[in-house]
Amino acid sequence: NKSEHYSAQVRPPGTSRQIPQTIIIGVRKGGTRALLEMLDIHPNIVVAATEVHFFDWDENYVKGIDWYRSLMPFSYGNQITIEKTPGYFTSPQAPERIHDMNSSIKLLLILRDPTERVVSDYTQVYYNRVESHKPVQLFEDIVIKNGALNTKYKAIQRSLYDVHMEKWLKLFNLDQIHIVDGNTLIKDPLPELQKVEKFLNLPSRIMSSNFYFNQTKGFYCIRSDGRERCLHESKGRPHPVVNNTVLEQLYSYFREHNAKFYRMVNHSFDWH
Ligand code: A3P
């Protein structure tokens, strides 16, 4: 049982902490937590429990690689260590810093429809602000400024996948970066996870019996090691209903960027 090892303070015999051989680099709100938790089902995978922010936050990066390693769980020689920090994908420093650490590393990137991602990003910030009693704005009031699309809005910038991907492809080969379709992972997780097992050269161990659809949550939950669990309630919250004209403006803004991204990665997605 892997989860016993995480909570143990003492090192189980034959294990050590390893620098990740694979990193989930993003994108924020793409489904990064679901991907990490679902990969954790695999007996040959161990995952870092929290977001590490080593390569994107200077105050952590200066602490050095041994600090980074110390945050990883104990693992056996036949296990791959994975961490996820969604901020890496859009960070200006992360590509070079990760490349300096391991230029042949395998990267996982989970993406979803860029407009849907903006709404999800807004929804997360909305709830965070409500919980800390801060004022909130309507989605439409943030996204439209003086009648035009507010392209400076951070959530919109983060959905410019082509702009961010360009920086990664300057340093890494396309075959080092596996893109997970976040829209598919929601609807039917197993096939997406089997592609990741192949990419990581792992035997196929994740099975359909590891998932069950929870009607109340409206999402798949995980059955593993004799336990059933859904993701935290902050994952899969209802989105606001967005004005159709505003949605159309977002779709048309992202259309060219998406087309460029498809060419870059040699793969099409069925985004708006
Ligand atoms: P929403 O909360 O907007 O629906 P991240 O972990 O990167 O922040 O991504 C969060 C998103 O993961 C959620 O966005 C949700 O749509 C998606 N997701 C994918 N599979 C899920 C699952 N099985 N349970 C809950 N959320 C899931």
Tens digits of per-residue pLDDT, 84-143?
Answer: 999 999 999 999 999 999 999 999 999 999 999 999 999 999 999 999 999 999 999 999
Of 7, 45, 4, the closest CA to residue 24 belongs to: 45
CB of residue 34 inside a 6 A radius of ligand 1: yes
Cα 29 to middle of ligand 1, angstroms: 7
Cis peptide before 143 (omega within 30 of 0): no
CB of residue 85 inside a 6 A radius of ligand 1: no
Of ligand 1's listed atoms, the one at least distance from the Cα of 26 is 7
31 neighbors 186 (Cβ within 8 angstroms): yes
Ligand 1, atom 18: closest residue by C-alpha = 31
CB of residue 169 inside a 6 A radius of ligand 1: no
16 neighbors 81 (Cβ within 8 angstroms): no
pLDDT number for residue 218:
97
Pocket test for ligand 1, best of 186, 188, 196 (most atoms within 8 A of CB): 186
86 neighbors 31 (Cβ within 8 angstroms): no
Cα 11 to middle of ligand 1, angstroms: 33
Spell out where the chain has E strands.
16-17, 22-26, 45-47, 74-75, 80-84, 106-111, 144-145, 148-149, 177-181, 211-214, 219-224, 227-229
The 3-state DSSP class for residue 87 equals helix
83 neighbors 48 (Cβ within 8 angstroms): yes
The ipTM of this complex is 0.99
Question: 160-189: per-residue pLDDT in tens?
Answer: 999 999 999 999 999 999 999 999 999 999
Residue 78 DSSP class: T
Cα 32 to middle of ligand 1, angstroms: 7
Cα 10 to middle of ligand 1, angstroms: 33
The 3-state DSSP class for residue 146 equals coil
| pTM, two decimal places | 0.96
CA distances from 195 to 97, 182, 201, 210, 258 (A): 27, 13, 10, 16, 22
Residue 208 DSSP class: G
- In whole angstroms, give the CA distance from residue 242 to residue 246: 7
